[in-house]
């Protein structure tokens, strides 16, 4: 089974890159299942119904969230009708689910959305929560488990790898929008600290540079906007799983809006 994981989709430039390229990538790399992070998909903050339909129409199978999951309140009406999840360690009474369970080519697969502590909203302990969740899924016969770890701190993501390696198929980091150069497969677990954004490259984490620069220079914040025109990139992790749910190989694909592509293979540890 071949899985594709797309990092934070930021605004229209990110959606346009998905629309223009995802079908080709699925075909060329033989991808069976696509996961993508939606939390910045609608003008940089949250996800609305129109953009959800647009992204699923491009071939995405399930979408994960993070600290911006609830920025567009209409998402509350989408959780029951679309394969959209939010971090599992939000309080129990929070709407939505943190796990998406499905069957692909006869194989049970679970996608879990988890959020870190540092600089994030108030959530339950991500580490104790995920250990319990993985145990429950193992007891239900799941071997193929993929975690979107949406966190600011690289140490939280890295620690999660060492807690769960050998038990889950992948721990994929999102949130910072800056791709990291540490893609590896360790004890059958595909890992990267952050996939990186899909959206504007000539920006500050996908946003127009004016507001963040003003904030850094003066301390005065303004609303962040996604640029209307920019150089765009699509960043994706592609990994293959065996029948036991173990990752065997993985690669990072960086596709630029001029058609150039960079492929980096994972280190096997």
Catalytic residues: 68
Q: Integer distance in angstroms from the first to the last C-alpha of the chain?
A: 21
Q: What is the token pair recorded at 197?
A: 């954004």
User: Assign residue 59 a region: left if phi > 0, alpha if psi is -120 to 50, beta otherwise?
Assistant: left
DSSP conformation class of 266:
P
Quickly list DSSP for 11-49. HHHHHHHHHHHHHHHHHHHT-SEEEEE-TTTTTTSS--H
Give the span between the Cα atoms of 167 and 263, in whole angstroms: 27
Q: Quick check: 38 and 6 in contact, CB under 8 A?
A: no
Dist. CA 87–CA 116, nearest whole Å: 9
The SS3 of residue 53 is: helix
Distance of alpha carbon 212 from alpha carbon 131, whole angstroms:
37
């Amino acid at each position: 089974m071949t899985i594709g994981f797309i990092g934070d989709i930021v605004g229209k430039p990110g959606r346009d890159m998905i629309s223009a390229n995802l079908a080709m990538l699925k075909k060329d790399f033989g991808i069976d299942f696509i996961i993508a992070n939606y939390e910045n998909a609608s003008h940089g903050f949250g996800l609305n119904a129109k953009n959800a339909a647009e992204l699923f129409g491009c071939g995405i199978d399930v979408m994960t969230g993070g600290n911006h999951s609830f920025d567009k309140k209409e998402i509350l009406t989408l959780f029951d009708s679309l394969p959209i999840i939010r971090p599992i360690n939000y309080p129990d009474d929070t709407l939505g689910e943190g796990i998406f369970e499905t069957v692909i080519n006869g194989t049970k697969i679970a996608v879990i959305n988890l959020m870190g502590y540092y600089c994030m909203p108030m959530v339950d302990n991500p580490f104790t929560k995920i250990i319990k969740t993985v145990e429950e899924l193992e007891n239900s016969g799941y071997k193929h488990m993929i975690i979107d770890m949406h966190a600011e701190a690289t140490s939280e993501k890295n620690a999660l790898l060492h807690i769960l390696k050998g038990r889950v198929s992948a721990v994929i980091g999102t949130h910072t929008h800056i791709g990291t150069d540490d893609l590896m497969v360790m004890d059958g677990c595909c890992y990267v600290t952050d996939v990186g954004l899909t959206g504007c490259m000539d920006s500050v984490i996908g946003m127009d540079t004016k507001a963040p620069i003003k904030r850094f220079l003066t301390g005065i914040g303004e609303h962040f906007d996604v640029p209307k025109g920019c150089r765009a990139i699509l960043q994706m992790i592609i990994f293959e799983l065996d029948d036991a749910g173990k990752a065997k190989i993985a690669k990072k694909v960086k596709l630029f809006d001029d058609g150039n592509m960079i492929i980096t293979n994972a280190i096997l540890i």
